[in-house]
């Protein structure tokens, strides 16, 4: 069973602003510089598309998948495989600025587990009630 991440307007605004800023810094010089060569264009367009593509990939590919033995949290190149037996707690949090997070909304939950380097991951499933219900089915000791 796979859950997608909730996306709120705050997060969408930040991503849009970042891509707009990258575009302004890289594409505007091409428009206003009469002496720009094709090499300049390739370099500046690469500088625009690579970070913009990375931001979009990380933002819009966030999924939380329940497998038989573990929860798989994925967003772009960032992935966490969390065995159900290692999950100790899940709680609602509003502190999205600190810690390991794979989310795109301010409305999020923090999953605490023993096998991770940082000890927890913050997520924002679209349907949190169903997600928590499914997690409790697979983790009977969950608080």
Range among 7-11, 63-67, 95-99 rated most confident:
63-67
Predicted local distance difference test score (pLDDT) of residue 25: 93
The mean pLDDT of 46-68, rounded to a whole number, is 93
Q: What value does the mean pLDDT take over residues 6-13?
A: 87
Instruction: Return mean pLDDT, the chain.
Output: 88
Q: Does domain 1-143 have CATH number 1.10.3470?
A: no
- Size of the chain in residues: 143
C-alpha count within 13 angstroms, C-beta hemisphere, residue 44: 16
Mean pLDDT of 101-113: 82
Residue boundaries of the structural domains of the chain: 1-143
Q: Tokens 């705050």 map to which residue? A: 10
Contacts (Cβ under 8 Å, ≥6 apart) of 55: 15, 18, 19
Model pLDDT, residue 48? 95
Evaluated on CA atoms 17, 19, 22, 25, the torsion sign reads negative
Q: Which secondary structure element, helix H or strand E, spans residue 98, and what is its range?
A: none
Q: In the structure, what pLDDT confidence band is assigned to residue 143 with cuts at 50, 70 and 90? A: low
């Amino acid at each position: 069973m796979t859950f997608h991440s909730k996306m709120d307007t705050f997060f969408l605004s930040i991503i849009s602003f970042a891509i707009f800023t990258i575009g302004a810094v890289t594409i505007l010089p091409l428009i206003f510089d009469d002496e720009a060569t094709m090499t300049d264009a390739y370099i500046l367009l690469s500088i625009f598309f690579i970070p913009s593509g990375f931001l979009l990939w990380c933002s819009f590919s966030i999924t939380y998948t329940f497998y038989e033995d573990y929860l798989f949290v994925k967003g772009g190149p960032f992935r966490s495989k969390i065995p159900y037996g290692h999950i100790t707690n899940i709680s609602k949090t509003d502190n999205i600025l600190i810690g390991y997070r794979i989310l795109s909304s301010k409305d999020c939950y923090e999953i605490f587990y023993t096998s991770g380097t940082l000890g927890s991951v913050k997520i924002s499933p679209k349907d949190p009630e169903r997600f928590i219900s499914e997690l409790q089915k697979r983790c009977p000791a969950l608080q």
